């Protein structure tokens, strides 16, 4: 099929306002005439229109990639992506809509012969990534896998809604051979998850570039740059609309950027970039055993009784309220009765302050306390024989990993080595994922 630039719908172009979105319309939603039938018809026709915003090398100003955005039919209730996805969620069809949008993006990019060396950033919902593609779209995605360099964007804002789903989605995307972008990073509550997710690309939220520098903005910038230094992840700044924003993005360590200063969302141009961004693949440690086995393979092992371990673990847990940003707290209790009422009371204020608190045990409830996720272990899970406490912050990592050798006597590793703690935490994170979770692209 010959390469061609897709035609631009002039009626739709007229609706694009200065901000790059759609201006208010005389839509049927506004006067109450919207219906599920209109949405159903849109989905049947796949009447969705991709537009592409350039991603630019901030050192040269050259376009080196594109982010795909979606628009509904102009003049309808679902012209804007906000209304479109709101209706998809209301109808319980968000995953299906997400697949249809991604298919439309891939078809447009393939039709325009976007070179494989040019990254195509595609937004998606974690829940959709864990849902099989509709059968009629499989051929489209097979073609995209061969012809495009798709980079999957997942919003950091989904962390608060479904941390397990986000972890599963990131893991599955990597298993599919695709790179992962964590976008909308602008809130301190997500910073402690960065080292656990290890994204290939980190995108500053537009407010980081556009707002004046505050202690909160500084905390985000410091954490992102620390993670990029640790892993080699690429840092991208969104929302660049002026020379001032561009200077701010550069000062914050971003090497790539996007925003209306460089170009508004439009169909792909006839003349495409001669060179694309060289994005990294951040290495992730293999899940090669239990937390104790991983830690013991890297750090010295000591012997202690249960009472001593209790004091050591409580000291580690008590680091949570002392960290400047909400931390991640993961703890394995072997069996549910060891997470008793007193322990639950101790964990309650820790969980209120944490970005994520999860406890692992045989027979544990799904929610053993406010803001606490319970992860039920199988009877034969080797983790039921281990005592584990992990605390991770944006710039802190500590872990206690123990196994009982004799009655009341434990071999243990206590370490603040970041690489060891993160590697030993992986088996815990994998157990948080939905059973049988697999990502489909």
DSSP calls for 124-146? --HHHHTSPPPGGGHHHHHHHHH
Q: What is the pLDDT of residue 214?
A: 93
Coil, strand or helix at 382: helix
Q: What is the pLDDT of residue 15?
A: 30
Q: Which CATH class is domain 10-257?
A: alpha beta
d(CA 369, CA 198): 28
Structural contact between residues 90 and 35, judged by C-beta atoms closer than 8 angstroms: no
pLDDT in tens, the chain (441 residues): 556 544 434 333 333 333 344 333 334 444 444 568 888 888 888 889 999 999 999 999 999 999 999 998 888 888 888 889 999 999 999 999 999 999 999 999 999 999 999 999 999 988 888 888 889 999 999 999 999 999 999 999 888 778 877 888 888 888 888 999 999 999 999 999 999 999 999 999 999 999 988 999 999 999 999 999 999 999 999 999 999 999 999 999 999 999 999 999 999 999 999 999 999 999 987 768 999 999 999 999 999 999 999 999 999 999 999 999 999 999 999 999 999 999 999 999 999 999 999 999 999 999 999 999 999 999 999 999 999 999 999 999 999 999 999 999 999 999 999 999 999 999 999 899 876 566 667
Q: What is the pLDDT of residue 161?
A: 79
Give me the helices (H) in 162-240, please: 163-175, 194-197, 206-210, 215-231
CA 272 remoteness from chain centre: 29
Contacts of 396 (CB under 8 A, 6+ apart): 319, 323, 327, 416
Q: What is the pLDDT of residue 270?
A: 95
Q: What is the pLDDT of residue 299?
A: 98
Q: What is the pLDDT of residue 363?
A: 97
Which CATH code for domain 291-432?
3.30.870.10
Closest CA to 327 of 226, 397, 222, 374: 397
For residue 294, count other CB atoms closer than 10 A to its CB: 25
Strands 149-155 vs 119-123: parallel, antiparallel or unpaired: parallel
Q: What is the pLDDT of residue 440?
A: 67
d(CA 245, CA 260): 11
Delimit the domains of the chain by residue range: 10-257, 291-432
CA distance readout (Å), 305 to 125, 290, 291, 379, 414: 46, 21, 19, 24, 14
d(CA 317, CA 314): 5
What beta strand segments (E) does 58-189 contain?
Answer: 63-71, 119-123, 149-155, 179-185
d(CA 153, CA 102): 11
Q: What is the pLDDT of residue 287?
A: 66
């Amino acid at each position: 099929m010959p390469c061609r630039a897709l035609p631009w719908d002039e009626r739709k172009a007229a609706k694009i306002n200065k901000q790059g979105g759609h201006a208010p319309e005389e839509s049927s939603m506004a006067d109450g005439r919207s219906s599920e039938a209109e949405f159903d018809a849109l989905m049947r026709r796949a009447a969705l229109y991709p537009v592409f915003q350039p991603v630019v090398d901030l050192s040269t100003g050259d376009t080196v990639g594109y982010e795909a955005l979606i628009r509904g039919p102009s003049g309808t209730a679902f012209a804007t992506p906000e209304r479109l996805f709101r209706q998809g969620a209301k109808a319980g069809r968000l995953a299906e809509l997400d697949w249809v949008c991604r298919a439309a993006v891939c078809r447009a990019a393939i039709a325009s012969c976007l070179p494989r060396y040019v990254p195509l950033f595609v937004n998606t919902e974690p829940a959709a990534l864990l849902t099989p593609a509709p059968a009629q779209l499989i051929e489209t995605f097979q073609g995209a896998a061969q012809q495009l360099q798709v980079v999957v964007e997942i919003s950091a804002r989904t962390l608060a809604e479904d941390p397990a789903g986000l972890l599963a989605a990131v893991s599955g995307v990597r298993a599919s051979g695709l790179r992962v972008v964590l976008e909308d990073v602008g809130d301190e509550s997500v910073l402690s998850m960065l080292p656990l997710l290890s994204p290939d690309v980190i995108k500053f939220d537009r407010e980081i570039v556009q707002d004046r520098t505050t202690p909160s903005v500084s905390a985000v910038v410091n954490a992102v740059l620390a993670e990029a230094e640790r892993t080699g992840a690429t840092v991208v700044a969104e929302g660049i609309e002026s020379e001032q924003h561009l200077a701010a993005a550069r000062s914050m360590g971003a090497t790539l950027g996007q925003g209306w200063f460089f170009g508004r969302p439009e169909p792909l141009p006839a003349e495409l970039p001669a060179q694309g961004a060289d994005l990294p693949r951040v290495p992730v440690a293999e899940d090669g055993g239990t937390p104790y086995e991983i830690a013991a393979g890297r750090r010295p092992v000591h012997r202690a009784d249960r009472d001593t371990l209790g004091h050591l673990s409580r000291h580690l847990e008590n680091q949570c309220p002392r960290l400047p940003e909400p931390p991640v707290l993961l703890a394995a209790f072997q069996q549910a009765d060891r997470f008793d009422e007193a322990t639950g009371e101790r964990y309650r204020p820790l969980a209120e302050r944490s970005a994520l608190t999860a406890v692992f045990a045989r027979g544990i409830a799904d929610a053993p306390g406010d803001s606490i996720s319970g992860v039920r272990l199988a009877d034969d899970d080797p983790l039921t024989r281990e005592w584990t406490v992990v605390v991770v912050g944006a710039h802190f990592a500590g872990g206690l990993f123990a196994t009982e050798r004799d009655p009341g006597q434990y071999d243990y590793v206590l370490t603040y080595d970041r690489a060891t703690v993160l590697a030993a935490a992986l088996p815990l994170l994998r157990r948080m994922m939905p059973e049988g979770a697999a990502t489909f692209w």
